Amino acid sequence: MKISDIRATTVTVPLEAPLLHSNGAHWGRFVRTIVEIETDDGYLGLGEMGGGGESAELAFRGLKNYLVGHDPIQLEALRFKILNPTASLYNNRTQLHAAIEFACLDIVGQKLGVPVHDLLGGKLRDEVPFASYLFFRYANPETGEGEVRTADQLVEHARALKRQHGFMTHKLKGGVYPPEHELACYRALADAFPADRLRYDPNGALSVEESIRFGKAIEDLRNDYFEDPTWGLNGLRRVRSMVDIPTATNTVVITFEQLAANVLDLAVDVILLDTTFWGGIRPCVKAAAVCETFQLGVAVHSSGELGIQLATMLHLGATLPNLTFAADAHYHHLTDDIIDGGKLPYRDGRIRVPDAPGLGVKLDREKLRRYAELYQELGGYTYDRDPGRPEWYPLVPNDRWADPAVRLTPSLR
């Protein structure tokens, strides 16, 4: 069995409403690059990479001659072909490797007639729990619906998601509004769902001092963890020393060197494993084993996935013995998916792990074509350029806690 062809197709899939992020960033739609790998004996494996567009397609095209003829079972050799230390000095190929590894595991599972979770050691759970992953949002520009700006709107949105999907954990993506406003919103969530778990993630937008102040103000709540309140291991280490909530990250511990540094001088209690950022499912499994050895927590992270990467998250989550937290997923914000059968359903806040051979998902060719055409029509998406907050990206003054000039409605500035 040898790789005979590699194809990459960029798609864009609409969201229910634009999602706001820290430092002037926002998502109005998801742009993903779908990878298909064929073998000489007729198997087709699927992979997925975030964003990229034409540049990602060119990168996969450039790897084609390099990888045609490679046996998909030889995953360690594949890793060294793409990620050997010397080559990586000149190329950031981690996410490319992830998408190719997804497809190779899909092929191997199909070849052997087993799901990917069996290739990883076997599943320990049939379903993976997920958090609601709440965002401040602009209204949908076509319908005028979906705005989330105030505490009341946030609670109403969370209630609707809980009714529809059954979430028992609620994560608020912050770093958008002044901290005192987001604190009020977070505490409103806690009041509305006193039996549920909570987590807050401002994407590193707060200073260490703001992070400590915010963390001390929520210590009494049912927090899973305090995710990336500030930037860097040393900043998180200072926050951890002052706040009685576990710290978590998906930004400053995404390599084994960073994981080793964290073990040697602890700054982060919970490592968020992203199958794209870590370079594949197998690196996440390896990282989880290190965390198990050193008694660090792990959770499955989301990076704006469609159904192919979601399947990788499910297979990962099914196999980790030390997974004690609900996973993240942007998935419920999507209006559609490019996999056969449409979006995978939530039930009681969980998604069932696929049991079909390989990743267990197939492409809907019509939707792949439709959303590829939509990408060609709309072009790429600039994640860090929010027309409602054009002045936010450089730096907001550090006295945001009390500055009345920082208004709460960026779209009205």
pLDDT at 87 exceeding the cut of 60: no
Give yes or no: residues 17 and 132 share one domain.
Answer: no
86/395: higher pLDDT: 86
Mean pLDDT of 193-218: 97
Q: What is the pLDDT of residue 260?
A: 98
In a domain, 141, yes or no: yes
Is 315 assigned a catalytic role?
no
Banded pLDDT at 149 (limits 50, 70, 90): very high
Give the CATH number of the domain where residue 285 resides: 3.20.20.120
Average pLDDT of the chain to the nearest whole number: 92
Is 362 assigned a catalytic role?
no
Q: What is the pLDDT of residue 17?
A: 95
pLDDT at 134 exceeding the cut of 70: yes
> Any idea which of 17-26, 110-119, 389-398 has the lowest mean pLDDT?
389-398
Residue 326 carries which DSSP code?
P
> Any idea which of 63-67, 231-235, 308-312 has the lowest mean pLDDT?
63-67
Mean pLDDT of 339-348: 97
In a domain, 383, yes or no: no
Mean pLDDT of 120-124: 97
Per-residue pLDDT tens for 318-331? 999 999 999 999 99
Separation of alpha carbons 318 and 286, rounded Å: 15
Give yes or no: residues 207 and 296 share one domain.
Answer: yes
In a domain, 402, yes or no: no
pLDDT at 193 exceeding the cut of 90: yes
In a domain, 87, yes or no: yes
Exposure string over 27-49, b if 16+ CB within 10 A, otherwise e:
bbbbbbbbbbbbbeeebbbbbbb
Mean pLDDT of 271-282: 97
Q: Work out the number of other CB atoms within 10 angstroms of the CB of residue 377.
A: 8
Give yes or no: residues 132 and 104 share one domain.
Answer: no
Give yes or no: residues 94 and 129 share one domain.
Answer: no
pLDDT at 67 exceeding the cut of 60: yes
| Paired strand residues for 7 | 36
In a domain, 400, yes or no: no
Give the CATH number of the domain where residue 77 resides: 3.30.390.10
Give yes or no: residues 147 and 286 share one domain.
Answer: yes
Mean pLDDT of 167-172: 98
Give yes or no: residues 279 and 321 share one domain.
Answer: yes
In a domain, 72, yes or no: yes
Q: Where are the beta strands (DSSP E) in 146-242?
A: 169-173, 197-201, 223-227
pLDDT at 353 exceeding the cut of 80: yes
- Whole-prediction pTM: 0.93
- Give me the domain span that covers residue 77: 3-117+366-378
pLDDT at 303 exceeding the cut of 70: yes
Q: What is the pLDDT of residue 395?
A: 42
Mean pLDDT of 58-66: 91
Banded pLDDT at 351 (limits 50, 70, 90): very high
Could you give the percent of the chain with pLDDT greater than 90? 83
300: enclosing H helix or E strand = strand 297-300
Of 111, 117, 301, 333, which is the active-site residue?
301
Per-residue pLDDT tens for 218-265? 999 999 999 999 999 999 999 999 999 999 999 999 999 999 999 999
Of 173, 181, 315, 330, which is the active-site residue?
173
Give yes or no: residues 55 and 99 share one domain.
Answer: yes
Q: Where are the beta strands (DSSP E) in 346-401?
A: 350-352
Q: Residue 260 corresponds to which amino acid? A: A
Per-residue pLDDT tens for 354-412? 999 999 999 999 999 999 999 999 988 877 667 776 665 434 444 444 443 444 444 32
Give yes or no: residues 182 and 93 share one domain.
Answer: no
Banded pLDDT at 22 (limits 50, 70, 90): confident
Could you give the percent of the chain with pLDDT greater than 70? 91
Separation of alpha carbons 217 and 235, rounded Å: 18
Mean pLDDT of 184-213: 97
> Any idea which of 92-101, 217-226, 340-349, 356-365 has the lowest mean pLDDT?
92-101
Mean pLDDT of 108-120: 98
Give yes or no: residues 302 and 204 share one domain.
Answer: yes
In a domain, 412, yes or no: no
Mean pLDDT of 280-301: 98
Give yes or no: residues 109 and 86 share one domain.
Answer: yes
The distance in angstroms from the start CA to the end CA of the chain is: 59
Give yes or no: residues 221 and 341 share one domain.
Answer: yes
Q: What are phi and psi of 37, to 5 degrees?
A: -115, 125
State the total domains in the chain.
2
Give yes or no: residues 175 and 242 share one domain.
Answer: yes
In a domain, 243, yes or no: yes
Q: What is the pLDDT of residue 18?
A: 94
257: enclosing H helix or E strand = helix 256-264
Radius of gyration over every alpha carbon of the chain, rounded to an integer in angstroms: 21
